[in-house]
């Protein structure tokens, strides 16, 4: 039977790049595609960024493909009333609701784009790294609140949460794992380091492991990115480092991601946001979305050769000169879609 994929176009450029992804999926299918609402669009229709019905339909799917959520309209509503729903709650609700504790963000600059990065070619050439980000714990999901003129966001981790993400990191390693924390300051980071070291010793002693403090890791990511294979880190550090790492590829518009749990469907999405400034202009770069389709085929549907086919079609299109606006070119979403399909 055809795999069932729930597509969540979301907001901003989301619907445009989702339409492009559907064209790609139609070429690779047959798939059973179902489109549902999430984020601001869902707030407008239902007053909440994620309905129970949409979460259930994601739970019952084989994979979920999400484009982007958020936009100034809903930011303004929250500025006027802090209790108003936020589009991002849809994404966080999906991560938590589907138990997607592991977020994989591969960073591999396409050869054709080595000169599109703001970093020098000789620094980034040969970069091939994977950010393994813990996705359902830490400060994102701790207790938070306001009390008069103070506010707090608690960061908590359990040994079990660290062990399971550490295993994903070690299993993904080809050359080694760099575990990133702030163990010189934070207690959760000391627990992180201790636990990662123990899992390493007990289960993955053959894999190279080093530890870096997050500020040092941020610096080395731009000065010596080729030193990294797997970057294993907690939720907030992973959020920040993965946007930084994206610039090694020339544009945030290039980076795909996969979020997976212990079982059940994974969620696949570009790392970039909803780009409200260019929404509706037909100029969004769909390549991170296509890369996310590739990750969905690989990690979600067990279709490795189709995944590799999509990735090499993206590379070939770029080698043929495809450049969307974010890469300094003129190509539209439609042009980029044609170019990738032509190379498939
Ligand atoms: C990401 C995004 C999200 C995050 C936002 C939209 C909540 O920045 O996936 O990296 O912070 O995790
Ligand atoms: Mg982010």
325 touches 299 (CB < 8 A): no
Q: Compute φ and ψ for 208, nearest 5 degrees.
A: -70, 135
Q: 1-105+255-344 architecture in CATH?
A: 3-Layer(aba) Sandwich (3.40)
Residue 247 has pLDDT above 90, yes or no: no
Cβ of 38 below 6 Å from ligand 1: no
Which ligand gives the minimal distance to the CA of 103? 1
Residue 117 has pLDDT above 90, yes or no: no
140 is catalytic: yes
For 298-307, the pLDDT digits (tens) are: 999 999 999 9
Residues 6 or more apart whose CB falls under 8 angstroms from that of 116 comprise 250, 251, 323, 327, 328
320 is catalytic: no
List the residue whose alpha carbon is closest to atom 4 of ligand 1: 239
For 270-300, the pLDDT digits (tens) are: 999 999 999 999 999 999 999 999 999 999 9
Q: Which of 11, 62, 140, 326 is catalytic?
A: 140
Cβ of 234 below 6 Å from ligand 1: no
CATH no., domain 117-249: 3.40.718.10
Q: Near ion ligand 2, which residues have CB within 5 Å?
A: 239
pLDDT average, residue stretch 185-200? 98
Which ligand gives the minimal distance to the CA of 235? 1
Cβ of 239 below 6 Å from ligand 1: yes
For 222-241, the pLDDT digits (tens) are: 999 999 999 999 999 999 99
Q: Compute φ and ψ for 260, nearest 5 degrees.
A: -130, 155
Percent of residues, the chain, with pLDDT higher than 70: 100
Quote the radius of gyration of the chain (alpha carbons, Å): 20
Cβ of 88 below 6 Å from ligand 1: yes
Q: Encoding tokens for residue 37?
A: 């609402």
Residues of the chain with CATH 3.40.718.10: 1-105+255-344, 117-249
For 9-66, the pLDDT digits (tens) are: 999 999 999 999 999 999 998 999 999 999 999 999 999 999 999 999 999 999 999 9
Residue 308 has pLDDT above 90, yes or no: yes
How many other β-carbons are positioned within 10 Å of the β-carbon of residue 118? 10
243 is catalytic: yes
Q: Helix and strand tally (H, E) in the chain?
A: 13, 12
Gap between the Cα atoms of 138 and 155, Å rounded: 5
182 is catalytic: yes
């Amino acid at each position: 039977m055809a795999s069932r994929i729930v597509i969540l176009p979301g907001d901003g450029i989301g619907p445009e790049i989702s339409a492009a992804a559907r064209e790609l999926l139609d070429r690779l299918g047959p798939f059973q595609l179902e489109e549902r609402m999430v984020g601001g669009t869902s707030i407008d229709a239902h007053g909440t960024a994620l309905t129970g019905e949409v979460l259930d339909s994601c739970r019952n799917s084989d994979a979920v493909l999400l484009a982007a959520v958020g936009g100034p309209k809903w930011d303004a509503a929250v500025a006027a009333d802090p209790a108003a729903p936020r589009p991002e709650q849809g994404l966080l609700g999906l991560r938590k609701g589907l138990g997607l504790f592991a977020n994989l963000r591969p960073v591999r600059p396409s050869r054709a784009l080595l000169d599109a990065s703001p970093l020098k070619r000789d620094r980034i050439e040969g970069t091939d790294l994977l950010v393994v980000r813990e996705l359902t714990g830490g400060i994102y999901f701790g207790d938070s609140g306001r009390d008069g003129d103070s506010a707090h966001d608690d960061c908590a981790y359990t040994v079990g949460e660290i062990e399971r993400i550490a295993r994903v990191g070690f299993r993904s390693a080809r050359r080694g794992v760099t575990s990133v924390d702030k163990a010189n300051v934070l207690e959760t980071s000391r627990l992180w380091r201790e636990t990662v070291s123990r899992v390493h010793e007990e289960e993955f002693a053959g894999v190279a492991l080093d530890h870096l403090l997050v500020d040092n890791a941020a610096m080395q990511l731009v000065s010596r990115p080729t030193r990294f294979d797997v970057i294993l880190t907690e939720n907030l550090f992973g959020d920040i480092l993965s946007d930084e790492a994206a610039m090694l590829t020339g544009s945030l518009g290039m980076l795909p991601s996969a979020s997976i749990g212990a079982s059940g469907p994974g969620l696949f999405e570009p790392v970039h946001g909803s780009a409200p400034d260019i929404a509706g202009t037909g100029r969004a770069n769909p390549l991170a979305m296509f890369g996310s389709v590739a990750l969905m085929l690989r990690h979600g549907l067990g279709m490795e050769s189709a995944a590799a086919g999509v990735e090499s079609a993206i590379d070939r299109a770029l080698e043929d000169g495809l450049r969307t606006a974010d890469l300094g070119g003129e190509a539209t979403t439609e042009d980029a879609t044609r170019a990738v399909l032509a190379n498939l």
